[in-house]
Amino acid sequence: MNKIKINSTYDARLDSYISDELNGKFSRNHVKNLIKSGRVSVNGKNVTKPSKIIKINSEILISDHNLEKNIPHNSPLPNIENININVLYEDSFIAIVDKPPFISMHPGNGKRKFNISDYIQIKWPDIINVGENNRRGIVHRLDKDTSGLVIIALKKISYEKLIEMQKIRKIKKSYYALVNGHPKKKKGIIDAPIGRNPKNRIKQDIIHGGKQAITEYEIIKKYDNFSLLEIKIKTGRTHQIRVHMKAIGHPVVGDKKYNNFSHNIKRQFLHAYNIKFKHPINDKILDINSEIPRDLNEFLKNLS
């Protein structure tokens, strides 16, 4: 029997929260069965009601032999010698790394491939009890094919403070995105709730009763059939920018999941280029930038 521990970061139904946190590795029905069979506890107490509302900062413990197959955290760590990840800021409490595209944040199903979680464990082996199992030090995530800045907590105290800062929107994140077409307004705010698509669980969608999601955008440059946007997110929902841009009719270029147009690009044009926040320990203002990667720059040059 294997176990995984999750610390909740918002109020939600128990079955919904577990399913979302495990990124759809298990169906909602499987999660419900786990709960009903007494294999899930919240804050040390067994819970058998899938619809139970859990509060923020609850500790969820899941026991299931299938977790070994789906979450291979006991697999050997890969070699990182030939992996080039830039660390743009580092002190005793936090680090900020520039994630390349095509690298997941944590291990997925099947054969273990290099991921940011593994990189953290190898780069900073002294990280102990910082963050969730299999996601040591990870404060927030980027999609596999999205590049850019990620905050890593190196101590438990900095992790807890950064998570709290994120909840109250004290960490400012800005992205560059290239989208199809030209939005009607130069600046706009999209405030639409996001949840898992009930018909396709690997997708998110605008869902009545979903989690609040707020995205601000501004047009930086117009091309014939595209617009380069600066995007700032007030919340951090799964696929938030991609879902919101699709919802207003201007999907992210190269997004194979949410854009039906074909483009000569290997991944979605989405880059987390700036992150600004107050250091959780010394209150210093950190304002870190990442340049647009070469592959995205080359695509822009071909449009000019």
Catalytic residues: 143
Q: How far apart are CA 46 and CA 151, in angstroms?
A: 33
Do 195 and 209 touch, CB atoms closer than 8 A? yes
Q: Coil, helix or strand for 203?
A: coil
Longest dimension (CA), the chain: 60
Q: How far apart are CA 137 and CA 152, in angstroms?
A: 5
- C-alpha dist (Å) from residue 215 to 184, 205, 212, 245, 280: 16, 14, 10, 9, 25
Backbone angles phi, psi at 35, to 5 degrees: -65, -50
Q: How far apart are CA 275 and CA 173, in angstroms?
A: 5
Nearest C-alpha neighbor of 85 from the set 73, 69, 110, 102: 102
Nearest C-alpha neighbor of 64 from the set 27, 37, 42: 37
* Residue position matching structure tokens 């009607």: 184
